[in-house]
Amino acid sequence: MRITYRTTIDRALADLGRGQERVADLQQRLATGKRINKPSDDPAGITRALSIRTDLKLTTQYMRNIDSGIARVNATEAGLATVTELLQRARELAILGGNETNDQDQRNNIAAEVSGLLDEAIAVSNSRFAGQYIFGGHLSTVAPFSPVGVPTTSVTYNGDSGVVERDISVGVRVQINVAGDTALGTTFTALIALRDDLLSGDTGAVRTADLQALDTTLDDVLSVRGQLGSTANRLDLTRQRLDLSSLASQEQLSALEDADIVETIVDLNAQEAVYQAALATVARSIQSTLINFLR
Amino acid sequence: MGLSVSLDIATRALQVQQLGVDVTAHNIANANTQGYSRQAVHFTAEVLAASGAGGGSTLLGESGRGVNASEIRRFRDQFVDFQIRDVLQLLGRYGAESQALAQAEVIVNEPTESGLGSLLANFWNSWRDLSNAPESAAARANVVAESGMLVTAIGRRHDQLRALQSDLDTEVQTIVAQINTLGAQIVDLNAQIVRMSAGGDNAGDLLDLRDLRLDDLSQLVNVTVTTRENGAISVLVGGRELVAGSQVYGLTTTPEPGNLGYHAVRWGADNVLTDVTSGKLFGLLQARDVSLVKPINDLNTLTAALITQVNAVHQTGFGLDNTTATDFFSGTDAADIAVNPTLVADANKIAAASGASLPGDASSALAIADLQQALTMNGGTGTFEDFYNSAVGRLGVSIQEARSLAQNQEFLRAHLQTLRESVACVNLDEEMTNLIKFQRAFEAAARLISVVDSMLETLINRVGLGGR
């Protein structure tokens, strides 16, 4: 074919342009560390990458939900642990106060301590976590238990039986609260009865019915604490699973989106070498025409 | 045959060789001129007109009468010209389309943290955060903030895609104006070429210019070219004459109310739609009316479904102040989606609870978060994310497609350009050689004159002196 000066130049320009484009492309990959920088880089890949990204965000959110759930379960557990201690102390006092050797003065003193336990139990039952009353069901903005009368003759429940749940993975929800009136209602009744029987000197009732009521309540509270413990376990296990799957997703995403740095650097060096060779060739081929050889 | 004839031959040889030098000079001067085709003098040996008296008056009959320049020829491969025009049309089309789509790709802005995919996921998560603390003002403010970012991003993307469409529309009008200008230029060139050819002059440079204009025109729109006997050409767009010899029929653009006021291309004379099927003009129309409409429609479909679904759940819920039956989003699609201003003003009205006076209940918030996994799109077979992700994938595919088609045409163009240049382009080595060739011939012809001169001198001064 007849080759002309213009052909050489045009071809050289086109080749150099393409070379530059390839080098720029690889440089962008290196600069961003990403293989996919825009949808057209890999349309099939980006669809998957986007859905993995969403999954990752969702998993992170589920872990956040679980963390918030565990914290609240722990706070509930801590409250009930205090109540357990109070009940155990009340039980000791019931045994002490049921003893016929006490006189009424001593029983009055014991009754005063029981009354203190009652106040503390009410305070614990009205405890809050992150601004929410934890024993009030869905009515989380008002104190769930209010004492009636001075001294307290009964305790009113202001909450409801609403279930508070956490979303812990797709389609899975876990109840993380206990409605206050089931777990704590009997505690107050038992303490009030004990106090009143001590004050009235009904040691028989203190020894039998009151002690019985305290034991039943204690069992109830312990069984609720057991449920909370298993909920906490379940949340913990799910969190571990999510941790693993989030790690796996991150690896998948990285394999899909990230540039292989070593490979990219090698490619870049190769392309740059090719580009420089092209530059040198062009420089040489443009120089020589017949004019250089005529006098 | 006398010596005067020899002088005559030598003189013409001088003139013709000098013409050769002139043409070579013209070639060298235009070595870098766009669209220039090299020229060459066509030499012919001058023969005697057959007189029938051959051999009568001389020993061997008459010799030839020297050289003459019969024409100045232009080197050009018409067939390659036809092919290149076809390729230029396709290149213009796919080039314009892939350029427009590449801009759309920038607008779509994926995969990034500020892309719609991420913002949508953040939006759902803000409802889950709210469900963890439905009484909390901070969680409510977070829902307002995340939804605000989502609707702003949707709106901005919609506006940017629309702006891109109207940029393309402006470009359509510019291109049509360019086509008309080129048509008028070709008509002018036609007239000059016809005049010069009729006068026997060399119209090569004008032909080059006209071919260049045809190349330019081919990039813009589908054209076919027919040559007339007098050297003029007709140019047809979609089977109808844009240029007919000395007459140009211009195109015009009219806003179409049925297509958002974007402009259609019509014939100026009778307002009939122009049959545009290729070239940059077609690429622009295609991008404006098809390629970009798809992502805009996808965005609208997604947004409309988002508004309907979220509002339907939100309507059933109750706010902290027991407000109920409120919409979460206002608007109907990507053009006007916004967070209900009542909720922005008072985040306590966001309905997280399923009943009145249940501040700790988050069932409604959870039900909204559940929409993330609900099969609401594609006729109940996909989630919002599925729909969005595959829309992004589709956009990527269409960009790849347009780009590779444009690249293929670019390779073809480069190849054909090489072919064209191998015929038409100036090769300086050749020209230098020719220059020397003409120089030598010129020198020889000059020597011929001096030889004939000395022969004449011999005749005039030496003959007839014998016996003096």
Q: By CB neighbour count within 10 A (0-12 exposed, 13-18 middle, 19+ buried), where does A284 fall? A: exposed
**Among the listed residues B399, B35, B79, the one whose alpha carbon sits nearest the alpha carbon of residue B217:** B35
Query: Which H or E element spans position A283?
Result: helix A261-287
Determine the residue type at B281: L
Q: What is the pLDDT of residue A11?
A: 80
The answer on pLDDT for B423 being more than 80 is yes
Find chain A residues with C-beta within 8 A of B128's C-beta. Answer: 61, 64-65, 167
**Among the listed residues A164, A133, A53, the one whose alpha carbon sits nearest the alpha carbon of residue B125:** A53
Q: Which residues pair with A240 in a beta bridge?
A: none
Q: What is the pLDDT of residue B55?
A: 47
Q: Which residues pair with B443 in a beta bridge?
A: none
Q: Angle at CA B444, nearest 5°, toward B442 and B447?
A: 110
Instruction: Kindly list the distances between the CA atom of residue A202 and the CA atoms of A115, A149, A188, A205, in Å, as whole numbers in the listed order.
Output: 17, 22, 19, 6
Are the Cβ atoms of B390 and A47 closer than 8 angstroms? yes
* B268 backbone dihedrals φ, ψ, rounded to 5°: -60, -35
Find chain A residues with C-beta within 8 A of B400's C-beta. Answer: 40, 43
**Among the listed residues A249, A52, A259, the one whose alpha carbon sits nearest the alpha carbon of residue B118:** A52
- The b/e string for A18-42 (b: 16+ C-beta within 10 A; e otherwise) is ebeebbeebeebeeeebbbbbbbbb
The answer on pLDDT for B120 being more than 50 is yes
Per-residue pLDDT reduced to its tens digit, B147-163: 999 999 999 999 999 99
**Among the listed residues B429, B427, B119, B18, the one whose alpha carbon sits nearest the alpha carbon of residue A53:** B119
Structure tokens at A146: 């209010």
A254 touches B: beta carbon within 8 Å: no
The answer on pLDDT for B56 being more than 60 is no
The answer on pLDDT for B83 being more than 70 is yes
Are the Cβ atoms of A4 and B357 closer than 8 angstroms? no
The SS3 of residue A139 is: coil
Average model confidence (pLDDT) across chain B: 91
Which residues does A168 contact at the CB level (< 8 Å), separation at least 6?
A: A62, A65, A66, A69, A174, A235, A238
Q: How confident is the model at residue B63 (pLDDT cuts 50, 70, 90)?
A: confident
d(C-alpha A166, C-alpha A142), whole Å? 21
Q: Residue A151: is the preceding peptide bond cis (ω within 30°)?
A: yes
Per-residue pLDDT reduced to its tens digit, A177-210: 987 777 788 899 999 999 999 999 999 999 999 9
**Among the listed residues B467, B460, B468, B163, the one whose alpha carbon sits nearest the alpha carbon of residue B335:** B163
The answer on pLDDT for A139 being more than 50 is yes
Q: Which residues pair with B67 in a beta bridge?
A: B45
When CB atoms are compared, the residue of B372, B373, B421 closest to A6 is B421
Which residues does B182 contact at the CB level (< 8 Å), separation at least 6?
A: B213, B216, B217, B220
d(C-alpha B265, C-alpha B274), whole Å? 6
Q: What is the pLDDT of residue B146?
A: 95
| SS3 labels along B319-356 | CCCCCECCCCEECCCCCCCEECHHHHHCHHHCCCECCC
**Among the listed residues B269, B284, B266, B167, the one whose alpha carbon sits nearest the alpha carbon of residue B220:** B284
Are the Cβ atoms of B135 and A131 closer than 8 angstroms? yes
Per-residue pLDDT reduced to its tens digit, A67-86: 999 999 999 999 999 999 99
Q: How confident is the model at residue B24 (pLDDT cuts 50, 70, 90)?
A: very high
When CB atoms are compared, the residue of B110, B366, B414 closest to A50 is B110
When CB atoms are compared, the residue of B111, B131, B423 closest to A36 is B111
Contact of A118 with A192, CB cutoff 8 Å: yes
Q: Which residue has the tokens 């571990």?
A: A240
Percentage above 70 pLDDT, chain B = 96
Structure tokens at B227: 């040559």
Are the Cβ atoms of B395 and A42 closer than 8 angstroms? no
Per-residue pLDDT reduced to its tens digit, B183-231: 999 999 999 999 998 887 888 899 999 999 999 999 999 999 999 888 8
Per-residue pLDDT reduced to its tens digit, B388-398: 999 999 999 99
The SS3 of residue B233 is: strand
Q: Which residue has the tokens 């439905």?
A: B134
**Among the listed residues B221, B327, B240, the one whose alpha carbon sits nearest the alpha carbon of residue B279:** B221
Per-residue pLDDT reduced to its tens digit, A26-47: 898 899 888 888 999 899 899 9
Among A277-281, B23-27, B128-132, name the one with the lowest average pLDDT.
Answer: A277-281
Q: Which residue has the tokens 């797709």?
A: A170
d(C-alpha A258, C-alpha A2), whole Å? 47
Q: Which residue from A minimizes the CA distance to B320?
A: A141
Are the Cβ atoms of B426 and A160 closer than 8 angstroms? no
Query: Model pTM greater than 0.80?
Result: yes
Residues 175-234 in A contacting B (C-alpha not used; CB under 8 Å) = none
Q: Which residues pair with B330 in a beta bridge?
A: B338
Look at phi and psi of residue B464 and say left if phi exceeds 0, alpha if psi is from -120 to 50, else beta. Answer: left
Q: What is the pLDDT of residue B128?
A: 95
C-alpha B261 chain-centroid distance = 24
Structure tokens at A81: 């642990």
Q: Which residue has the tokens 């139990």?
A: A121
Q: By CB neighbour count within 10 A (0-12 exposed, 13-18 middle, 19+ buried), where does A108 fall? A: middle
The SS3 of residue A147 is: strand
